[in-house]
Structure 1
């Protein structure tokens, strides 16, 4: 089968198409013929090595985390799916990839594709859906009437997170450039700041939670818009001791992560703000619940651009520019 792979970690582009054997299955796994694969910023970063302490790949490794396709084979213990089922899933952090003709998907990570979505639309959902679900529902425990700040609202995470937050009954503040104001308003954003003209910390106030999606000093600045006893859930770091402990890292890594996150944690304590770093995990049950929200029209996928499989490297380069409004997807079929 054809797959987009990397053979070593390097800052320069080291991706290449390769012909690989068709994967074999464990009893609890399925083989999915990939019709489309959604791209995420982490896919552009993994081959460069910054996630080596977190993610363990056996090189050469196939890139990609999100998949939508059709089940062509099931392991002996798979009971919820059968050959011919249309499914979608995230296999992030499972040591496998989706930018290939076929992908191995554990039964526990998959859900039936919403009938009202095509494969491209479905492939755009898993990682952003699960990330925002786990950040807003589980970690921040966002409640009706609360206010959440979701910067970069026109991006892949932002477009989904705004809609989920509105479904949960929250009010949403975000930052975009002028050309994206109409988009995020249509998704439900209540307060929109043009980051090229204003500083969000000078405009917004009284927030209960922040979803950290922007690098630099945005997290420290966000403390100024939060109420006492609020929360910051960061998707981009700095990693904290809790994630090192959860992943069984050694004392040295716990110490390093403690140093990295120490500044924001200490600053947050002054106002009772809790900081945590979220590392998303695949969950087919949560994905099925997200699928129900999509089927009933409460959330809709937002897709910026679709590339053919032959241009997967160009798709990743386009995503890395950071200008996409919504998701970038690679279509295999």
Structure 2
């Protein structure tokens, strides 16, 4: 049986700022070994970084962020203790944080499929759930529909392309020209290079022959024009789904005010006559199990951009901060 230590190494968010200033590597962070009903203790194998992680570090003050705390959200690992009847010691799971051990609720993890490595598994949960719940849960995407995915080379966007194709939908996706091959490999039927011309101008000048049933903004645009002009390319009764506009700093305040106005102003006051919805990700066991099945049968492919050593987590953040990562940036823990 594995001996569980009292303390561990963990990357701790201690203040607001960029990761290099916000994070500290603690050598003796306590391991939470006392489990409540339904909890498990997992020894982490790999952890993945998420854009929301570093954005929250930069934006939220300590009180709202409840610092200090262990950084990040997604991991893969092995159960070393369990107070739950569904998972046992030795089971491979797929969610967590940047530390050697993590205590989580058993209903927030799933058994890792045998055809998925720990490194791949670390980067699946949050991004795949976001894409799945946006398209299946919020948009109710159907096989005969067309979906426009803004940010096809992001991890959320790449999962969304794959899930839309699994559903039988037609997919149009955006990315920069250097990522066109990747986006098409994920399954996109058509590709738009957003660097050549602003998207709104391109879609206005080149409206689709059949308007989109769904627009999924996997980037989380702060500026609202893609939505406010959407009557030109989004079908009546269609829906605009966003991962959530998240400002990078005070410079985006006015854009956020405009976005809030755009999504709250009714159409009879001149707003676009289209629905806007936010995908608020939930750790829904049934959704996680469905993603697990798609991974196990090979329909859904994990995407890893790069892998860093645990001590090099700040270098991993440097990589994700370039916004050029194609797939997940993963930190190898054990």
Q: What's the TM-score bracket when you normalise by the shorter of the two chains?
A: 0.7 to 0.9
Match of 1:27 in 2: 37
Q: Give the match's secondary structure for 1:290.
A: helix
Q: Output the CA distance in 1 between the equivalents of 2:91 and 2:323.
A: 34
Does residue 99 of the first structure (1) align with residue 98 of the second (2)?
Answer: yes
8 Å Cα contact 1:87-1:112 kept in structure 2: yes
Does residue 16 of the first structure (1) align with residue 24 of the second (2)?
Answer: yes
Does residue 321 of the first structure (1) align with residue 325 of the second (2)?
Answer: no
Q: Give the match's secondary structure for 2:294.
A: helix
Residue correspondences, number: 305
Q: 1:203 aligns with which of 190, 201, 206?
A: 206
8 Å Cα contact 1:66-1:127 kept in structure 2: yes
Please report the TM-score for the alignment, with normalisation by the length of structure 2. 0.84
Q: Output the CA distance in 1 between the equivalents of 2:16 and 2:23.
A: 10
Does residue 37 of the first structure (1) align with residue 42 of the second (2)?
Answer: no
Match of 2:169 in 1: 170
Q: Give the match's secondary structure for 2:67.
A: coil
**Bigger mean CA offset, 134-143 vs 171-180:** 171-180
8 Å Cα contact 1:294-1:300 kept in structure 2: yes
Match of 1:79 in 2: 85
8 Å Cα contact 1:87-1:111 kept in structure 2: yes
Please report the TM-score for the alignment, with normalisation by the length of structure 1. 0.85
Match of 1:266 in 2: 265
Shift of 1:218: 3.6
Q: Output the CA distance in 2 between the equivalents of 1:51 and 1:204.
A: 43
Match of 1:242 in 2: none
Change (3 A) 1:86 1:189: same
Q: Give the match's secondary structure for 2:319.
A: helix
1:246-285 matches, within 5 Å, as 261-266=260-265, 272-285=273-286
Q: Output the CA distance in 2 between the equivalents of 1:33 and 1:285.
A: 24
Q: Give the match's secondary structure for 1:112.
A: coil
Instruction: Please report the RMSD computed on the Cα atoms of aligned residues, expressed in angstroms.
Output: 2.3
Q: Output the CA distance in 2 between the equivalents of 1:155 and 1:62.
A: 24
8 Å Cα contact 1:207-1:227 kept in structure 2: yes
Does residue 4 of the first structure (1) align with residue 5 of the second (2)?
Answer: no
8 Å Cα contact 2:149-2:173 kept in structure 1: yes
Q: Output the CA distance in 2 between the equivalents of 1:17 and 1:265.
A: 42
